[in-house]
Every structure is written in C-alpha cells, then in structure tokens.
Amino acid sequence: MCGIVGYVGPRDAIEVLVGGLKRLEYRGYDSAGVAVIGGDGELATHKRAGKLGVLQRDLVAEPLPRSETGIGHTRWATHGGPTDVNAHPHLGDHGRLALIHNGIIENYAALRDELAAEGYTFASETDTEIAAVLLGREYGRTNDLVGAFRAVVGRLHGAFTLLAVHADEPGLVVGARRNSPLVVGLGDGEQFLGSDVAAFVQYTRRALAIGQDEIVAIRPDGIELMDFEGRPVQGEEYEIAWDASAADKGGWSSFMAKEISEEPDAIEQTLLGRLHDDGVDLDEELAPGIDDDVVRSITRILLLGAGTASYSGLLGKYAIEKWAGVPVEVELAHEFRYRDPVLDAGTLVVSISQSGETMDTLMAVRYAAERGARTLSICNTQGATIARESDAVLYTRAGPEVAVASTKAFSAQVIALYLLGLHLAQKRGTLGAEETRRLVADLRALPAQLQTVLESGGEVRELARSMSDTRSVLFLGRHAGYPIALEGALKLKELAYIHAEGFAAGELKHGPIALIEPGQRVFVVVPSPRDRNSLHPKVISNIQEIRARGAHVLAVAEAGDVAVLPYADDVLRIPLAGPLFEPLLAVAPLQMFAMELAAAKGLDVDQPRNLAKSVTVE
C-alpha cells in the first residue's frame, strides 16, 4: 500500500523524492520520510507522522544537504501506529544504511528475536526496522549493498518491496520485490524507482517492470537486474501511455471530482479501436493466451475482485451470461483460494484490479493458474504484476486514478467486461447480427449520455448539502441496479464515514425493511419501464412499501419515467439507455453525492481515513 521512490542522478534528490511522494500519496498518508547521501558522504534522513505536507514544511525549515542519491516513502501503517518513530526510512549499520519498505514481513518476529539475541536493539514497532537491521548486519560482513540484499531477501517471508541506500556507496539505490510492486524509470544519466510509474513520470516515460523475486541496482549510467540467486535477468521495457499532467488536479477541487469528470473519456478510450459496426475485435489482445479454441472450450467463468472491482464484476456477470450463454460466478478474491475451489481447463478466471497489484487478487490468480485454469486480467496499469502473470490482459485505458475512492476505473472495468461478453458471444455464435449492432450502438452512445448526467452536478451538490447531518443512508436496486446500490453505499462509507448499506430490492421484505423508520433516507435505482421484462413495477412497489413506513425516497430514474413521481421525494434523472447500460449512467450521481456529502462535512475527499489506493498486503 505504501508509496516508495528512489533516485540517482544529477538532479537534487530531495526535489525528485518529494515530487514523487506527492504523486504517490494516495498509496498511504499516515507518515512520510526521506533519506539522502550528502556530498560529504554522510547519510541524512528526515521523517514525520502525518500527511506529506508535514514533512515538506520540516524540510523547508531544516533542509537536508543537496544530494544525487536518495529514497523516499509515504506510509500506510501495518505494524506499529503512525508515529515519527515508526515512519520510514529505518536505519541499520550504525546509521549508515537506510531502508524503506512496502508490504508485510510475516516472519519478522523470529528475525527480531535472532537479532536481539545478538545484542541488537530496536527503536520502532515495525517489521521494516527488522529488515533494515538485518541488512545492515549483512553489509557489515560484505561491504556490498547488492550482495547484502541477496543474502537477506531470501530469509524474508511475506510481501515486500525494499529500497535501500548506504553512505559508503553513493550513486547507488538497490531494490528488491516479492509480491509487491516495483518499477524502474529509465532516464538519460539518471534512473528512478517507484511503487508505480507516477513516482517518476514527470521525468521519463520509459519504464521497466521488475519481476517476482528480483533485485535491481540503479546507478546514473544504467541498471543491473538479477534474481534472488544473483543470476542476470532481462526486464520488459514499455512506454508510459500518459504524462505527468494526467496526475495533476488541473484546477478541480479534488482528484475525485476530476476523475468523475473524466468518466466519459475513460469509457471512450476503453472502447477505442475495439468496436466496429458489426461487433468487437479483441483477437490481437487476447491471443495467443486466450484464442478462439480456448473461448469455445470455456464451460464457466469466474470473475475475481475486491471492493469496487467486485461490483463491476457483478455487472459483467449479467452481460456475459445474457450475451454469451456462459455460467458466470463473481467471487471476492480474498476468499477465493481459501475454500479450495474446483477449477479445470474449461474455467476462465478473470481478475479485475485497477492497479494490477492488489495482493489478494494476485494470489487468487496464481492459485487459479497453478490448477490449470486460463487467466485473463482486466487492469488499468501498464506492466502491473497481475497483467504480466495472466494468460492475457485487457487494459481499461482509464488513465491514472489518484483519488482513493474509485470512479472512472469502475466504469472502465464494466466496459471491458461488456466488451469481453460481446467477444465471447461472437466466437460462440450466441448473438444475432442485429442484436450485436444494437449493443454496439448502445456502447458508442454511452460517453455522450454520461456527459449529460455529469452536468447535473449542481443538483446533486444541493441535495448532499441538505443531508450533511444524515447518519444513515440505504440503497436499493434490482437486477443490474443491485451492484450500483452496493457501489453507492460503498462510496458513502468510504468518503462520508456514515452507515450506508446496499440491498437487492427483492430482499427488502426478508429483513432489511426493519431498518426503515420515519426520515430514513433511501436511494432507489429504478429500472427502465420500457423493457418488456422490466422489474419497474416491482421496484415501484418496493418504494411504496418503504414510503408507507416514513422513508425519504431519492430515486435515480430515467428521463420520462412519470410512474415514480408520486412516490419519490427527490428524483435524479438519467438518459434513456438499455437495461445493462443504465447502471453506468446511474452510478455517476451516486459517486457525486458521496463526494459532495463528504465535502459538506469538511472531510478529505481524496484521502479518506484508514484507506489507501492500492491494497498490496493481504
């Protein structure tokens, strides 16, 4: 979850490190710190609890020496609370070595006991300090930072990315990774390391993905890459598809506001080049890992995700089953491998992860591959671990998403799943030509339709402000509206810190209706009355039932739906669209509502408490 950055080169390292941490702060904002090797050959560090701004102010008041070698860290706390002492970097070798860490070292207690028995003492409560002291001990034996890394990383269990510098080796940063992300930025006479490319995209768009159980050493004139045994390996270079301006607010009040505004473009970019008038073309992207023979042999599909990604999977399930006629199950990635699931060569496992580094999803993908299933990744981040380890990848092209609460990534994930559903339908012959053309037209219409929804932001803002003291909100939906109810509730929990629950509307009489009392606010995602199989009358009945018990009903309904008017206290309108496309229009008002309610309560929209963007620990 933590953000890490490393630099060697002619620039002022502090400037590079702090700039990188600013773009990585969405990965953790409990504390931050930096370590540099000054021109006098001494190691200098500074770290503070709190958000990055606390560290920045201290660095202005008490500047560290100019340096061309350094590492920086922004933390999401696991072991030990968010204090100055527990903040990274941690030191070893009598203060000559500094180390930062992303992940969890599971055997840290045994290693701590071993070091304590040798007389070592510890200042913090963290697992990271154990790795720093262990690395410092090994450096004292070898006087070789790369060699010390090789000796230490094999002893560590769990998930980790480690970066370290030593005062005796200026111009060198060494990193290692296992089950946690690390990427190199390739420059001219300078090199970068980061937990993702946002750390260095301001300076270079050339990146190199670091593989599982690999060590990298960066120096101004190049990099050295090897496995944990010291054998040279070849990294995979790629070009970053966006520039630093994409990770800036661009005048918006928050990254979340900016990213909601980018949803139409995220959908359009995810469709670009993949749609033609008569269907979908994913052949080049999915082959050879998932070619036509594999597609025709699929007997079932498992969609894996966590949080928002799992809700996009629920929407994907409706589309894939309807269009391709393949049974689909949606599973929480963190529960999947612990129940001994039955998998075989006829199972396609589709993982959904914005970052492509979500630890529980990554472990589920590895589990599925080991048992013979085909794996497909739906991912928004080039070079991510899950994408590299899957048989095929379908990138969502949403651009960088900085706000912790996902918005445009969710919409792009749903679109990618819909494209997959159409691709499977074409290959398996389950959709007629006329129906396919209609669905293609519906997909193409979505960006413009969504743009009209976003223009209702003022109405949503006023509604949110009128509810700033609300302590509980319920969300109801049926069929494809049910995942939107779940997502709306999640956004409100994440951002406004109030009780919010999403329910399938049909479950109302099976228990949840007991929560309804006079004044209870309830959002209802109302399906279109135009579909011949519409659940519209049943949802209207649900509204009447809760209204009769004093609920305040806030309906999200399509334009022209007059049947809802007698029973709803407030109505947010969305354009007319097909049953599987309306949810992508209905989710935007709920995202905006959660954002505006949080803002009305004076809360940080982009960095909600206790959360971080990329969950890289299990």
| Co-location of 262 and 204 in the same domain | no
C-alpha to C-alpha distance for 150 and 503, rounded to whole angstroms: 51
Evaluate whether residue 616 is within a structural domain: no
Q: Which domain holds residue 557?
A: 457-600
Q: Determine the pLDDT at residue 235.
A: 87
Establish if 515 belongs to a structural domain: yes
State yes or no: cis peptide before 288, omega within 30 of 0.
Answer: yes
Residue 62: per-residue pLDDT? 94
Q: What parts of the chain have a pLDDT lower than 70? A: 1, 532, 616-618
**How many CB atoms neighbour CB 15 within 10 A?**
12
What is the phi/psi pair of residue 108, to 5°? Answer: -65, -30
Domain boundary among 429, 454, 479: 454
pLDDT given at position 130: 97
**Same-domain check for residues 239 and 278:** no
Which phi and psi angles does 45 have, rounded to 5°? -135, 155
- Confirm whether 588 is domain-assigned: yes
Task: List the CATH number of the domain containing 228.
Answer: 3.60.20.10
Of 424, 454, 484, the residue at which a domain comes to its end is: 454
Same domain assignment for residues 366 and 511 = no
C-alpha 260/C-alpha 262 separation (Å) is 5
CATH code, domain carrying 473? 3.40.50.10490
Query: How far is it, in rounded angstroms, from Cα 491 to Cα 599?
Result: 13
φ, ψ of residue 173 to 5 degrees: the values are -125, 130
Residues annotated catalytic, as ranges: 2, 613
Q: β-pairing, 472-477 with 521-525?
A: parallel
Last residue within a domain, chosen from 181, 214, 245? 245
Cα–Cα distances (Å) from 346 to 63, 299, 422, in that order, read 60, 5, 19
Q: What is d(CA 540, CA 556) in angstroms, rounded to the nearest whole number? A: 12
Rounded to whole angstroms, the Cα distance separating 337 from 35 reads 39
Same domain for 213 and 296: no
Residue 279: strand, helix, or coil: strand
The residue to which tokens 């005062």 are assigned: 167
- Confirm whether 613 is domain-assigned: no
Please give the angle made by the CA atoms of 234, 239 and 245, to the nearest 5 degrees.
Answer: 140
Residue written as token pair 């949403």: 398
> Do 187 and 42 fall into the same domain?
yes
Examine residue 569 and state whether it is found in any structural domain, yes or no: yes
Residue whose tokens read 């999947």: 336
C-beta of residue 37 within 8 angstroms of C-beta of residue 43: yes
Query: DSSP label at 354?
Result: S
**Strand-pair category, 191-194 with 183-186:** antiparallel
d(CA 490, CA 611): 13
**Comparing C-alpha atoms, which of 342, 552, 511, 324 is closest to residue 421?**
324
User: Are 14 and 96 contained in the same domain?
Assistant: yes
Q: Are residues 380 and 500 in the same domain?
A: no
Q: Are strands 97-105 and 90-92 parallel, antiparallel or unpaired?
A: antiparallel
Q: Note whether residue 462 is domain-resident.
A: yes
Beta strands in 466-594 (DSSP E): 472-477, 499-504, 521-525, 552-558, 570-574
Q: Summarize pLDDT for 112-130 with one digit per residue, the tens.
A: 999 999 999 999 999 999 9
What is residue 532's predicted lDDT score, i.e. its pLDDT?
66
User: In whole angstroms, what is the distance from residue 142 CA to residue 162 CA?
Assistant: 19
Which among 533, 326, 495, 288 has a CA at the least distance from the CA of 420? 326
Cα separation of 71 and 42, whole Å?
Answer: 14
Residue with tokens 């999403």: 502
In a domain, 607, yes or no: no
Largest CA distance in the chain: 79
Contact (Cβ atoms closer than 8 angstroms) between residue 210 and residue 197: no
Domain count for the chain? 3
Q: For residue 573, with 0-12 CB atoms within 10 Å meaning exposed, 13-18 middle and 19 or more buried, which class applies?
A: middle
Contact by Cβ (8 Å): 21, 209: no
Q: What is the 3-state secondary structure (H, E, C) of 372-415?
A: CCEEEEEECCCCCHHHHHCCEEEECCCCCCCCCCCCHHHHHHHH
Domain shared by 489 and 542, yes or no: yes
pLDDT digit string, tens, across residues 555-583: 999 998 999 999 999 999 999 998 999 99
Domain co-membership, 447 together with 514: no
Residue 189 placed within a domain = yes
Element (H, E) at 182: none
Q: What is the CB neighbour count within 10 angstroms for residue 512? A: 18
Structural tokens at position 130: 């154990």
Q: What share of the chain is helix, strand, coil (3-state, %, to 5)?
A: 40, 25, 35
Helix ranges restricted to H, 337-389: 359-370, 385-389
Alpha-helical segments (H) within 287-307? 292-297
Q: Is residue 424 domain-shared with residue 498, that is, in the same domain?
A: no
One domain, residues 293 and 440 = yes
**pTM, 2 dp:** 0.89
Distance CA 487, CA 406 (A): 10
What residues contact 588, with CB distance under 8 A and at least 6 apart? 260, 263, 450, 453, 454
Residues 483 and 537 in one domain: yes
